[in-house]
């Protein structure tokens, strides 16, 4: 089983749509969770950390379910500029900063 | 907004040559990292570094790789004898404090091409 697994997509949605991405992780000792976005041939950019209580940042909502080892990202009112690859990222407990990345989910928002 | 910078943006080298990739982390950050991404693949951890020591390294980070903080601002990754399979994008990252809870911020990357 992959350490961090994401649906690779691609997701093609119209502007204004709501889209949700899911991610599962295999190691129950995982401690910290993040969503990054990556534009083509660019660096990963931190979108948001994911907390057990769930958190929201504008149009973006992240949820964590530790029991199911599942993380989600919801994007509301999609913009053209949201087109990117979304990376689910996990940090193992006891690790000294070793982030484990999923393969990424490709999102294309069209007019 | 402070950011991580990396030089060069693109490095072409011949197999067997040594390369040094340079990074300037965000100034008040204490933890530094290198990752790589082979084209079309996921981002992979190489090494974490704190207080002038390696904190953790992956299986990829073998004896051909080394890291150094030669002064108060730079953080370097050296590959002693490059192989074709070292061709990848190399990202430097830094975090403000403890690696467990603090977010890592990535530089723009150095594209390494080994011919």
Q: What pLDDT is recorded for position A28?
A: 87
Which residue from B48, B103, B107 is facing A43, i.e. has the nearest CB? B107
Q: How many CB pairs under 8 A join A and B?
A: 60
Q: What pLDDT is recorded for position A108?
A: 97
CB contact under 8 A, B99 and A96: yes
CB-based contacts of B38, cutoff 8 Å, min separation 6: B44, B87, B88, B89
A103 phi-psi bin (left φ>0, alpha ψ -120 to 50, beta other): alpha
Average pLDDT, chain A: 93
Give the gap in angstroms from C-alpha B54 to the nearest C-alpha of chain A.
9
**Torsion B89-B94-B98-B103 (CA) sign:** negative
Q: Are B11 and B113 in contact (CB under 8 A)?
A: yes
Q: Are A24 and A3 in contact (CB under 8 A)?
A: no
Q: What pLDDT is recorded for position A9?
A: 87
Count CB atoms within 10 A of the CB of residue A57.
Answer: 11
pLDDT in tens, A32-69: 999 999 999 899 999 999 988 889 999 999 999 999 99
* Positions of chain B with pLDDT under 70: 98-101
Q: Residue B52 burial by CB count (10 A; 0-12/13-18/19+): exposed, middle or buried?
A: exposed
Q: What pLDDT is recorded for position A51?
A: 84
CA distance B69 to B67: 7
**In 3-state terms, what secondary structure has residue B85?**
helix
Q: What pLDDT is recorded for position B16?
A: 97
Q: What pLDDT is recorded for position A69?
A: 94
Q: What pLDDT is recorded for position A1?
A: 75
Q: Does A90 touch chain B (CB under 8 A)?
A: no
Cα B15 → chain centroid:
19
Q: What pLDDT is recorded for position A8?
A: 86
pLDDT over threshold 90, residue A17: yes
Q: What pLDDT is recorded for position A93?
A: 79
pLDDT in tens, B85-107: 999 999 999 998 765 567 899 99
Give the gap in angstroms from C-alpha B12 to the nearest C-alpha of chain A.
17
Q: Taking the C-alpha atoms of B93, B98, B101 and B102 in order, what is their torsion angle to the nearest 10 degrees?
A: -40
Residue positions counted in chain A: 111
CB contact under 8 A, A91 and B45: no
């Amino acid at each position: 089983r992959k350490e961090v697994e994401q649906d690779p997509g691609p997701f093609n949605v119209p502007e204004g749509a709501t889209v949700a991405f899911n991610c599962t992780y295999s190691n129950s000792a995982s401690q910290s969770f993040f969503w990054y976005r990556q534009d083509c041939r660019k660096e990963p950019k931190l979108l948001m950390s994911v907390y057990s209580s769930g958190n929201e940042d504008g149009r973006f909502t992240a949820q964590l379910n530790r029991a199911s080892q599942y993380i989600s990202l919801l994007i509301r009112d999609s913009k053209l500029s949201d087109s990117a690859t979304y990376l689910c990222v996990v940090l193992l407990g006891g690790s000294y900063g070793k982030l484990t990345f999923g393969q990424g989910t490709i999102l294309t928002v069209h007019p | 907004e402070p950011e991580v910078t990396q030089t060069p943006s693109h490095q072409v080298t011949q197999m067997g040559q040594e390369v040094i990739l340079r990074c300037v982390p965000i100034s008040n950050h204490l933890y530094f990292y290198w990752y790589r991404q082979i084209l079309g693949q996921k981002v992979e951890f190489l090494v974490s570094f704190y207080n002038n020591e390696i904190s953790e390294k992956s299986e990829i980070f073998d004896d051909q790789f080394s890291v150094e903080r030669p002064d108060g601002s730079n953080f370097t990754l050296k590959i002693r004898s490059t192989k074709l399979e070292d061709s990848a994008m190399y990202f430097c990252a830094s975090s403000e404090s403890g690696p467990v809870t603090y977010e890592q911020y990535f530089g723009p990357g150095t594209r390494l091409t080994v011919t």
